[in-house]
Every structure is written in C-alpha cells, then in structure tokens.
Structure 1
C-alpha cells in the first residue's frame, strides 16, 4: 500500500468516525474528567479471598467506586455481577455501568469439544449453534463479553494453543471465525441471549518461533496478508465488537504497542470500529521486551491504538502523568474511552445496566437437556477416523470388550484445555458412555498405564488441578493387569493420548508423541493378538508413525467435552459414522515442522518421495506428512469421478462452478467433506502448490451417487501481491477436488 493511500484511508477513517458518533456517548464524554476517562480503560479481575464477603476484593471495590474500572472479568452469576454493577452505577459520580467479560472458549457450562476438534467437523452451522448456546448460557450468568473466538493460524503443533484454534488454513479459519462471531453476537447485541465477541490474538500469535508460547514472530508482510491475517479480517467483516492483542512482537514491536498493526491496519485499512483490549498484562510485558518502563510502554500502547488495559493497570497508574508531560493527548484518551463506552451502549447497558442480570435465567437457560444433546452431536462430528484395520469398527453392541487406559474412566480430562467455566464433574467418562450405548456388551476395565510416568511432567501439567495421577502400583503391575484383561476379551479399546493440560496456553512441547508409558501399553496390547482400537485424545496433531504402522484402528477424538463418553460410544458402536477431517497436518516426526498443505515449490522441488541429491528433501525422512490436511476416513468408502468446470475461460470478477460425481461405494450410510483446492499456475509472486477454496459436507446412503456442485467466487482467485494489492492475475488455474488436500480429480480454466 502506498503512502498516499494510507493518508487517504486515515482521513476517511477520521471523517467516518465523526459522522458515526453516538449522541448519548458524546454527551457523557463531555461530562467526564480526564481521570474518569482513564478509569474506563482499566479492565481488572478480582483475586484472592473475599475478606468482606462481597463480590470482589476490597481493593477492586474501591477502584470501581472511584470510577477507576471500566470492566471486570472472572466473576459470574447474577448475584455477584449485580453487586459489582451496583458499585459502578450507584457509587460513582456518573454511574457508568461495567462490562463483564469471560473466557468462554468452547462452551460455557455445556462444554463442547475443544476448538481444534470443532473445526474438524467442517460444519459451520454446527459451530455457529455451539456459539449461540455458549452465549445463551453465559448471559444467563450475567456475562456480556466473551474473549473468543481465537482464530490464530497455527502450523507448528509444538505450540500448545493449537488446541484453541481452527488449525492451519486461512480459508477454513475465516469461515469458522465468521460463524463463531455470528453465533455469539447474533443480529442484536442488546438481546439478553447474545454477547459481544472478542477476536484474538491480533496478530500472528500462532507463528511463534519454535512453537514456544509468547515467543517472537518474524514474518514477511506478504505471508501475513495471504496466510495469517484472513481469519482476523473475516471476524472484523462479520462485525466483531472487540479485538484482543497478542503477546508476540511484529516487526520488532510487541502487538500491544504496534501502531502499524492496531491503527494503520486494523482501523485504517480494515475499518474496524470496535475497541481493542490487551491480553493479560501484555502492556506491562513490553518492559521485559525491552521497550521502557511502565509509563513508557503504557503511553506506547495508547498511542498505538490500544483502548483497554487488561489487569496490568499501567493505563490507570501512568496515563495521567504522561498526559501532563505531553506524551499522550487528551484526544487519544478520549478516543479510547469513546470506543469502550460505545461497546457498552451497543450492549444496551446505558438503557439498562442490569439487562443481563436475571436470577431466573441460570436454572432456565444453563445446561438444558437439548444443549447436552447438541454437545454430544458436536463431539461425534468432530472425531476423525485416522486408520481402519480389518473392519474392526464399528463394534457390535454385545461384544466382549477390554476397555483400557487411564483416560478411559476419567472425568477430569474430558473437557480439555481452556474450559474454565465448565464443570468436569458433569462430564461422561468413556466407561459410562459405553455402558449407556451398549448395555448388552461385556465390558472389563483396566487402567493399564499412567498417562505419564514422568513425575516432573505430571507436576507441570497439574498447575490448574490434578489431571495426571501417578498410580501407587508400579507400571509393571498396571501393564500386567491390562494384558490379563485384554486376553479374556474379544476386542480391546485402548484410550490413550494427552492429559488436557498437556496442550493449551503455556503448554508447548518438543515431544508431541503419545507418552512413553502409554506407548508401552499399546505394544503390549497389540502383542496379545486381539483386535485393538486406539481412541486417541489430544489437543494437537501428534507424531504417531509407530502407531499407524501397527495392526490397529485409530479414532482421534480430541477432548470431546461434557458428553465425551456418550459421543465416543456412539461412534465406536456405529450409531454415527465418523466424518471429521483434520484441519492441521500431522507430521511424520517433529523434524518436519513447520508442515502444512499450502507449501510452495522451491526452485529444486523433489519430484518423488525417493531421495535425490540436490533436491529439496531430507536424508532421513520423507517430505510428505504422515496425514495430510483434510484427511479423515469413514466406515464406508467414497469414490470421486468426472470433475467438470462450468467454463474453461472466465473474465475478471466472474464466478465459476465445478461439479464432481461422488458415490458411496461401501456398506454404511455416511457423510463426506468434499474439498476444493486451487493452484495459480503462474503469477507475480511464487504461488503455493494448492490452497483450499471451497468445501461441502454431503450425506450419501450406501450405494448412492450424487453430483456435488462447488462454486469459485471471483474473490477466491485473488491474493496479495508484492505491493500488498489484492488482485487476481490473468492466466491458467488448476482445480483439485477430493477427500483431502492430496485430491487427484483435476480440471483447468483460464482467467482472461
């Protein structure tokens, strides 16, 4: 983008802001002191014990009464939130209501699968529905602002927060971002069952170096615009009310103080009208980044375009001094305050500060039976069948089953990471789910192994409560018991994988395999000669080359949520035919990372998987992943034929449709996610080998054939060129349609 166009965008943004002000907000701003405006920029969370018995600690109470708090997070229930709102409305000079936020990442009390699992459903209506239920339940408890969705693109599964996002692809990630924002916010933010969403983390957080949380990011603008920015922009275009900054730096400047990111891009280029909040103490953390003391970094953040400071209180304690010294202006403080007040206005809080406080709603709207039913459906649709062996699955409902594994009779891990509002005690363990779905089956249980035998790892993952328990029995005793149970069964189902806090925030790992304790268990169970099914739990792609080579079936179930056991049993016993597809590539080994489907050719591409000297390849591993993006099997089989394009030549801004014949050639009814990939053969900057540009979920009865139509919009041919112009360049294109990113049905067309 040229300098002149940035200047034009700046003045257009300024003019538009002047035209779109809210009279009630402007009237309030005219009455506010500079200290009161700064107070609105402060977001806090109560901590420690509540000595006075009120909803918040005495220190936070005093700040609310002094007009020094704009919002609270970390509290819930109508009673507690009403007490806090009373302080703001009745004890301050202007009676400005608080906004109440929370991290509602994959459901409120009704906990759905982790976001990476939900994404594997490729079902936008389902994802939207889960967000609607989360909003209904959270607002019933008085919360009106949600720190979700997280839309960071992640191509490094060592990064623990891969679990919180939609995977590696900007097209799919954009569709999911839009669905989640629309689900949370609906058509009317003042409605009692909707809440303001907050897209995060702006920006590039999923590309932290070495997959280590909070680490640096170094990336070209072309990659930012083409690969990492689209989901954030999709959320902005969907009308998201707020944006949260990330912890990492961008071009050497941390996101919370990056003016190019928060003002030039977010507001001037993307025309974002909502407010921007920091992540937890990320303003203060710019001190450790090396950008100055608290006063300096707080002024840097405000000048960059940050509106609200989460927890750190640098704005509260230093902005007045910076204003007095001319380091920040009153206009900048007023603009930040205006955006926060406008958010409260849009939520209807000025009309009724107690709009979201109704003591009758929790019993009526939280954990409804139909919510649990949808949680069960969402979980079944998130599962991905990674391998099927000898038609072991689905199991008969009267089978003699050995159910093995620490995770097989466990409630604490079923909700997965970042479920702070959920209650693990309400979750259905797998053993219970098996008995519910197959009451005539003979089921024998044995633990078999600890999730890990590593006491240091167990200590590290038990920070938020005990999710890994080291059994008093020796590993040898646990293993012997499991083998004995397996030998008496017709089939073995082993539930293996990660504990919930082995992924998530601050849970980066250099070894992303199944823990050694469980790998030994798997080998011993296979050695019995019994048919073995692995039910695999994780919050990230794992390295499972060994397990894929064993004579086992493998069902990836992520962390399924409150209905975990019932949903897993539904799929294991054939009530539902799995149709999930991976949204992140699974590597052969950690050395292949980063690995993703939309790679580019080098000048020396490897033509086959056979090693060739002086080609871009490894001496000790293939280039290809273990499991490609979009991969997922079914109990049935699907055949693709006869791909056609509606035109072989199209004009600029003209759409194109494609059709393919899909046949269910197996013995079960089932769903298939038909995927469309595009390759720009020649363009002004090096193109990826292929990029996802369409998908459709289709149900076919066994033996049924359907013609599936997919559309390519004019926008789908565009990319950001070297000048960061969004263009479609004339030339030849190839399209691929199939069951994953290695789709082989191919057609071509030309853009004039």
Structure 2
C-alpha cells in the first residue's frame, strides 16, 4: 500500500511539473530548430499570419510630456492581428509628422521600445517578442543619432574597413534604443543618374559595391546577434532596382539574364555569403516578373543557389503593388499567395498579407507547410537574437551610446575620406589660413538639412556643422568671412546675385557651395510608400528638394538660378572654389571649363562642414574617388565605365566619354607607379594570378592613394566589358615613401557566363590595367589562362 502511495505522489508531482514546465520554445538551452518547431506547433493560423506583418511603427506609441506609453492602435494590432514586427517606430521626419517635439529622443526611444515589447511579451498568449526594424542607410533615422555621409559618399571613400567601423557604430545606436533590424546597405548599382535614389547606393560598379556591402553587413551584424550591440542587416533592393527605364523610381528594368547575373546580383550574393540575415525585395519588375513575386530570384537563386537562411521582406506596399501597380494579381489574396509562394516571407506594411493571406490560406492558395516555412524563418532569428530571454534594453545606457564623441569623430573621418577633389588648377587648393578675406556664397553653404540627404531625422540645434561654420572655425578673427546665400536650389522667385558679386569682388577667394538637396519639409506631400511627390508646376512654394526618393530628374543641370549665380561670381575675376553638395551626378561641364577648383562632397553628414574645411585649408589631404561616372550631358546616358564592348562611338555634338570617369579623384600629393609583375599559377591547383607593383609618394606631403586593378578579357565566347574593376586598395603613404601592393586574382575574377549560361573560366589572354582611375592607367601587363572549367549558373 505504501508503495502505491509513493507512486501516486510521484505521478501527481510529475503531472504538476509537466504543467508548470517551461515550453521548449522558451528554453534557451534547447536547439534553435527545436524551439521554432515547438512554437509553430502551438500557434494558430492567425498568429502565424500576424508574425509576418511588419506594420508602421510611429503611431504605436503615445508621448505625453516625459511619459511614453503604448497607443490604442498598437494594442489593437497586437490583440487582434497578432503582429510580429514594427517598422520605423523611432523614425522622425515630415512624412511621419514626428518633430523634435513630438518624436522620441534617445532615452525616450528606448523606453518606448521597452513598453512596446512588454505588451507583446506579457499580453499575448505565447509571449512572442517583437522585432523593431529601423532605417539605417547613413545612421539610424531617429532623433539625436549620428548622421554619417550618405552611401554615395561612403562609396567615395573606397575604404571597406572604415565603413565596417561606421556600420558597427550605427548598429550600437540602433540596438541601444531597442531596435533589432537595420535596413541597409543598399546594394543597387546606380547606372541611371536621373534616378532619385542614387545617393543611397555605392555607385555603378559591382566589385566596389560588393566590398563595401560586405563591410556594412559585418559591421551591423558583428559576430553574434546576441551581443546586444548588433542588428540584423536587411539588404536592399532585390533586384536590379537602380536602373529603371527613363530613371523613373520603381519602374521596370530590362537587364538580360547574363547582365543580371554578372553585374546586378554579385553584390547581393557577396553580402549573403558574408552572413546577411534579411533581404528586401524591390518595387520593379524584371523581364515582366515583379521582384516581390519572383520565385526564380527569391527561391531558386537566393536560397537554393546561394544558401540564404534568413528571411525576406517586401518593400513597403510592394505585395499590394502586385494588384495595383503590376496588375499580375486580381485580388489581394491572389497577390499574397503569389508573394508567399515565390519565397517572400515578411510583409512590410501590414496590409499585403494580414487578412489577404488568411483568405489565401482559406482558399487553398497557400499551403500550411508554405506558411510555416515563412513564419519559421522569422521566428528563427528572434530566437537567435536572444529576444525570448532578453527582450528589453537599458534606456540610460542606450542614450549615452547615441552620438557619442567617438561616433562624431568617426562621422568626420568618413566625411573626410569621402571628399573627391575633381579639379585643382594651378594648385589653388589648399587655401592659406592667412587669407584676409573669404566670400562664402551659395544655397548650400549654410543649410543644415541640404547637407544631410534623404532618410534623415530632424536635427537638434547646433548638431550640424555647415560649410560656412567649418570655414569660420579654420581661420583667425583677422580673416573677414562674408556670407551671401545668393539664391535657392530651385526657387527662382528671389535671389541676391548682386550681393554675391559684391562679396566676391571684395574677397581674395570665393567658395561657392552649390548642388542639390534631398531635404524633406513639412509642406512636401508623400506617397503611401514614403516616397516624396513632386508638386505640380505653379505651386506657391518650391522646396529645394530635387533628389531623394521620388524626385527623379529629366535633366542633370543645376536648377534655379545657381548657374547664373556661379557665372556672375566667376566673372568678377576672383579665384573661385566650387563645393558641390548633392545626391547624384550633375552637369558640371561649364564649371569644369571655367572654375579652377572643384570639390565634390555629395551629402557629407553632420560633420561635413568640418571635413570640408579640413580639406579646403590643407589639414586633410583628399583622396576620395568617384564611385560613379559623371556625364557631360544627359544625352550621353548611360556612361558607366564597364559597358560591354564595342567601345562607344562619338556623338555629332560631343564625344561619348564622361566628364569625370569612375575612380577619378585628385590629391595634394603625387604618386608614381612602377615595377609591375604578373605571375600565374595554374598547374598545381586552382588558378591564382599574383599582381605586384610599387607606388611611391613623390611629393613633399603625406597622403592616401587608391590603387585600382582592372581586367580585360581580350577574346571571349560572349561580349565582355572593355575593362572591369577587380581589386582596389586605399593606403596611406608618407612623403617620399614607397609601398609594394600585392593583389591576387582567382577563377571568379576571370569567369564569365558563357553561351550555355554556365559560369566558365575560358582559356585566353587577359590584360591587367593598374592605375589611379578607370582612365588613368599607369601600368599594363598580361597573363594567359590555359585551363578551362564550367559550373551551372545560379537559377538554371
């Protein structure tokens, strides 16, 4: 009897323990896959669909003085729709209507994130933590964060190691405020400068974009997503988004299969190989198939061929766009089914899946395993990030990490390295600090928002250093600095060209700061995607905005009265330095012919004024290189340097060459290249080609050089480019010093996609071109490949 009593007590205890035991999905010691399977088995269809909804986040909190709480809209979204993620919760800009007053400052942002997370964890049946995704193209797009140069400026650094440090700083600021996903980097190739989003890219070249993209991924994600200081990197945009027909944002693109795989996909593939855990689809279609419903890309290439293990996410509203824009689906349910079955996991908007996906499941358009596959990919990363164990952040610590002195200094360094000296006739630059009078002229000389680019939050007073402020900080009180705005970027209703002319005549040098702007304002209207809407002609107010998402151009000329202003100042005879602040290549032909010194800053970020003054006065020796070709005229487009042969023939009106080529950039120092040696090893293993040469600083001042190696396949079975960048390196050389540079080429550097659509290494002669730009070639050599190999191409 006693034995039965003991057994009964044991069984009762075991039953009680089983009832109170932690579920497998909440056990941090259990393998990730077991946790995900256990959680999926417990979820309803509605809960699964909800996990695939990433909804707009800035309406999900309420701010009343210092008190931050969840909003009724958020609680309803969690309770009724079981949402799994928010996007742009901490974002502030005119589109979101969040200002310095109504938006969240760093400490408040962390409190808001914790409040949102607490409700998701404690007020839902399964307690699944929330993902917070944030925009991170050149800094976290939130109040108080560090604003780095935009990506086209980052690309001009040609410095992957620097960008990795920058990305790590951005990740720290995002994670410290409660974010988990950083949207970026943008890996589109910008071969269409009329397109509004050139500023978000690293330029026109697949190799440069690949190297910088990999650096960004490594910086954002670090070595462990559980670190507490790293975020998931979301690659944008998959695929071929940067070459829309006519430059129309989101328009169709028409690369051939070979060009798609040889040029547009390699940066994505490199970033996936580097461990990127999220990929965003693009708005465009390719050869008639929208990217958000392209199984060949999302499943065959991305997962089967590249082995991608993370999750995919739509661009905002692109699933609905299958109905409203592309017209490949008749109903929202059909659109949801097309997207999910193609391999698109997560819905950025919250209305592309949601009820439409539930209907698709009910109608049998989406299978249970198909739904589980998508949900599992999202849940897996929540587990791997450790959110089930530690969903909250330390608000006080997070606030201290944002815009720290170290990050401000890093922003200055990125800006310094991004500056491209286009022209410096008679060594006008650097300027002497002993000048007694300087005229600073132009619409971008003292405008903080025009300096920052698109995807930028409102800025606290005193945070941004303008060009005018940077110049004033460099010279002594004895130097008279006169500032005249002269004109606006676009508005022609008011100008003070006479005042600018008077200031220039009385100065020893005139620094004229021109270009464009992506600065949004609260008068701008926006599409549902967040892209700005170009206002109709004849409006009462014209903003400076002529670039940034939605602002495509028909010409690349300076707008407004900027050209008139520049010509009037040049006519005074005072030496002129033009500083360009802009988001895309513009028509610089007149100033190239008439202005002695041109300095391209793109959008240089919060420390841009300091960086520009450092270069203008010689405290920093510029070494930025163009990541994109600059045309002489819009009628030349496209002018990217690595176009397929034959070489472009000349026009009646002008030649076909760009005004400034890819890779161009001057220095205050001079560098000589010598002693090229090319050694091939093929018989004892995989193809290896070693390229050695020497670079010497032949000047009296130290500086950085960017050595570039291009390759030409002399005879091939399919058409190949006249030249293609394969390797590059930025390095510092003291005055008079010499350094040997060694590059190693392998099979991937010489392969092509043959007529059978296989990746092939073909026997033949290859020419090595080494120099300081794609046109400034200093050394030439050749090597011969004797062996051959093939492998199937991705997606075939």
Same topology, TM > 0.5: yes
Q: In structure 2, what is the Cα distance between the partners aligned to 1:453 and 1:113?
A: 23
Q: In structure 2, what is the Cα distance between the partners aligned to 1:425 and 1:300?
A: 49
Deviations 1:539-565 (A, max 9, x none): 111111111001420000111111111
1:269 shift after superposition = 1.2
Could you say what the CA RMSD is over the residues aligned between the two structures, in angstroms? 1.9
**Residue of structure 2 in register with 1:497 after alignment:** 515
Structure 1 contact 397–441 (Cα < 8 Å) conserved: no
Shifted more, 239-248 versus 715-724: the winner is 715-724
Alignment of 1:571 with 2:615, yes or no, is yes
Give matches, 1:180-329, under 5 Å: 180-288=216-324, 289-291=326-328, 292-329=330-367
Give matches, 1:413-432, under 5 Å: 413-420=450-457, 426-432=463-469
**Residue of structure 1 in register with 2:21 after alignment:** none
Using a 3 Å threshold, how does the CA distance of structure 1 residues 650 and 228 change in structure 2: closer, same or farther? farther
1:234 shift after superposition = 0.8
**Residue of structure 2 in register with 1:142 after alignment:** 178
1:21 shift after superposition = 6.3
**Residue of structure 2 in register with 1:460 after alignment:** none
1:600 shift after superposition = 2.0
Structure 1 contact 222–722 (Cα < 8 Å) conserved: no
1:650 shift after superposition = 6.9
Structure 2 contact 60–74 (Cα < 8 Å) conserved: no
Alignment of 1:646 with 2:682, yes or no, is no
1:623 shift after superposition = 1.4
**Residue of structure 1 in register with 2:7 after alignment:** none
Structure 1 contact 66–92 (Cα < 8 Å) conserved: no
Using a 3 Å threshold, how does the CA distance of structure 1 residues 670 and 522 change in structure 2: closer, same or farther? same
Structure 1 contact 64–88 (Cα < 8 Å) conserved: yes
Alignment of 1:87 with 2:132, yes or no, is no
1:675 shift after superposition = 0.3
**Residue of structure 2 in register with 1:404 after alignment:** 441
**Residue of structure 2 in register with 1:521 after alignment:** 565
Give the one of 118, 121, 129 matched to 2:157.
121
**Residue of structure 2 in register with 1:368 after alignment:** 404
1:261 shift after superposition = 1.2
Using a 3 Å threshold, how does the CA distance of structure 1 residues 56 and 544 change in structure 2: closer, same or farther? farther
Structure 1 contact 189–346 (Cα < 8 Å) conserved: yes
**Residue of structure 2 in register with 1:154 after alignment:** 190
Alignment of 1:750 with 2:784, yes or no, is yes
Q: In structure 1, what is the Cα distance between the partners aligned to 2:39 and 2:62?
A: 34
**Residue of structure 1 in register with 2:476 after alignment:** 439
Q: In structure 1, what is the Cα distance between the partners aligned to 2:395 and 2:347?
A: 30
**Residue of structure 1 in register with 2:532 after alignment:** none
Report the secondary structure of 1:271's partner residue.
coil
Alignment of 1:672 with 2:716, yes or no, is no
Q: In structure 2, what is the Cα distance between the partners aligned to 1:403 and 1:335?
A: 59
Shifted more, 40-49 versus 722-731: the winner is 40-49
1:286 shift after superposition = 1.2
1:435 shift after superposition = 2.1
Q: In structure 1, what is the Cα distance between the partners aligned to 2:687 and 2:255?
A: 33
Structure 2 contact 682–688 (Cα < 8 Å) conserved: no
Give matches, 1:320-399, under 5 Å: 320-354=358-392, 357-399=393-435
Structure 1 contact 451–498 (Cα < 8 Å) conserved: no
Structure 2 contact 59–73 (Cα < 8 Å) conserved: no
Q: In structure 2, what is the Cα distance between the partners aligned to 1:421 and 1:264?
A: 42
Corresponding pairs, count: 701
Q: In structure 1, what is the Cα distance between the partners aligned to 2:299 and 2:509?
A: 60
1:696 shift after superposition = 1.3
Structure 2 contact 187–213 (Cα < 8 Å) conserved: yes
Structure 2 contact 472–481 (Cα < 8 Å) conserved: no
Using a 3 Å threshold, how does the CA distance of structure 1 residues 116 and 453 change in structure 2: closer, same or farther? closer
1:27 shift after superposition = 0.7
Using a 3 Å threshold, how does the CA distance of structure 1 residues 143 and 21 change in structure 2: closer, same or farther? closer
Report the secondary structure of 1:282's partner residue.
coil
Deviations 1:36-90 (A, max 9, x none): 1111011101355967966454233212123520101222311111111122111
**Residue of structure 2 in register with 1:23 after alignment:** 34
Q: In structure 1, what is the Cα distance between the partners aligned to 2:366 and 2:110?
A: 38
**Residue of structure 2 in register with 1:175 after alignment:** 211
Structure 2 contact 491–560 (Cα < 8 Å) conserved: no
Shifted more, 619-628 versus 48-57: the winner is 48-57
Which runs of no fewer than 5 residues in structure 1 stay unpaired? Answer: 1-19, 456-469, 607-615
Report the secondary structure of 2:563's partner residue.
helix
Using a 3 Å threshold, how does the CA distance of structure 1 residues 279 and 325 change in structure 2: closer, same or farther? same
1:652 shift after superposition = 6.8
Which runs of no fewer than 5 residues in structure 2 stay unpaired? Answer: 1-30, 91-108, 519-544, 787-796
Using a 3 Å threshold, how does the CA distance of structure 1 residues 89 and 551 change in structure 2: closer, same or farther? closer
1:184 shift after superposition = 0.1
Deviations 1:424-448 (A, max 9, x none): 8511111211122223561423334
**Residue of structure 1 in register with 2:668 after alignment:** 635
Larger Rg over CA atoms: 2
Structure 1 contact 406–449 (Cα < 8 Å) conserved: yes
1:99 shift after superposition = 0.3
Using a 3 Å threshold, how does the CA distance of structure 1 residues 502 and 56 change in structure 2: closer, same or farther? farther
Structure 1 contact 67–92 (Cα < 8 Å) conserved: no
Structure 2 contact 310–377 (Cα < 8 Å) conserved: yes
Give matches, 1:438-587, under 5 Å: 438-440=475-477, 442-454=479-491, 474-475=494-495, 478-500=496-518, 501-587=545-631
1:127 shift after superposition = 0.4
Deviations 1:332-360 (A, max 9, x none): 11111100101111111112222xx2112
Q: In structure 1, what is the Cα distance between the partners aligned to 2:633 and 2:683?
A: 42
Alignment of 1:620 with 2:653, yes or no, is yes
Q: In structure 1, what is the Cα distance between the partners aligned to 2:685 and 2:593?
A: 48
**Residue of structure 1 in register with 2:745 after alignment:** 712
Deviations 1:577-635 (A, max 9, x none): 00000010111110111111112223xx56xxxxxxxxx33222211111110000111
Using a 3 Å threshold, how does the CA distance of structure 1 residues 525 and 232 change in structure 2: closer, same or farther? same
**Residue of structure 1 in register with 2:56 after alignment:** 45
Structure 2 contact 679–783 (Cα < 8 Å) conserved: no
Alignment of 1:600 with 2:644, yes or no, is yes
Using a 3 Å threshold, how does the CA distance of structure 1 residues 649 and 323 change in structure 2: closer, same or farther? closer
**Residue of structure 2 in register with 1:14 after alignment:** none
Deviations 1:627-655 (A, max 9, x none): 11000011122222332212497777221
**Residue of structure 2 in register with 1:701 after alignment:** 734
1:287 shift after superposition = 1.1
